[in-house]
Structure 1
Amino acid sequence: MSTKKSAEPSPQSVARAERQRVAKEEGAQAMAEAERRSVELRQNMQRLRALREAKQADEDGAEAPAPKPAKKKRVKRIVK
């Protein structure tokens, strides 16, 4: 009733082990690629944020020294 395992693995078990090995390698590569793209995305967002903030600072700096002209008060005239 007890079965002995042969010294040689079956072709099915060799193929299964190969598929698992390949899947593990591809998974690791996919995770590394996803992490690399994530880092690149964060760096690009940081670069764009710095550009936007610099542009806003330039626009605010250009507008701040020029005060708006004061509104003239209306004078009520009495007509007889």
Structure 2
Amino acid sequence: MNDDTETDLDEAEEIRAAETEARVRAENRAERAERAERMAREGAQAMAEHHAAIKAVDERTVRLRALRLAKEAADAQTAAAEKQAADEAKAAKSAAKGGVKGAARKAPPKTAAKG
């Protein structure tokens, strides 16, 4: 082989190497772009799931608070009714024992002083 043939082969090899390198760089760029796009999609999906979880917790909190307040109101109403029933029973028992004594214990109504 002569020098011209070797030079032509070297040049062809360099061209092929440059083309391969350019193709590899382009593929790497495409892979990086694809990876960045995939990560952005996954990040958006993760944020959506996170916000959905927060919303679900907030909704449960509101529901449970409403249930608790309703239960507390019902308990208070029941306690008031029981106290009233107990007071009425006590008053009935006092009246049955001696209604006059129970009436005598009460203070007479106050009247306005003239003068």
Show structure 1 runs of 5+ residues with no match.
Answer: 1-5, 71-80
Match of 2:44 among 10, 16, 21: 21
Please tell me the residue identity of whatever aligns with 2:39: R
Calculate the TM-score normalised by the size of structure 1: 0.70
Match of 1:60 among 63, 83, 100: 83
Give secondary structure in 2 for the equivalent of 1:64. helix
**Cα deviations by residue, 1:12-70 (Å, 9 ceiling, x for unpaired):** 11111111000011111111111111011110000000010111111111001222668
- Measure, in 2, the Cα distance between the counterparts of 1:9 and 1:43: 51
Partner of 1:49: 72
**Structure with more helix by fraction:** 2
Calculate the TM-score normalised by the size of structure 2: 0.50
- Measure, in 2, the Cα distance between the counterparts of 1:36 and 1:46: 15
- Measure, in 2, the Cα distance between the counterparts of 1:66 and 1:15: 75
Q: CA RMSD in A?
A: 2.2
- Measure, in 2, the Cα distance between the counterparts of 1:19 and 1:45: 38
- Measure, in 2, the Cα distance between the counterparts of 1:66 and 1:59: 10
Q: How many residues align?
A: 65
Identity rate, percent: 25
Mark the structure with the bigger radius of gyration: 2
Q: How does 1:26-37 map to 2 (within 5 A)?
A: 26-37=49-60
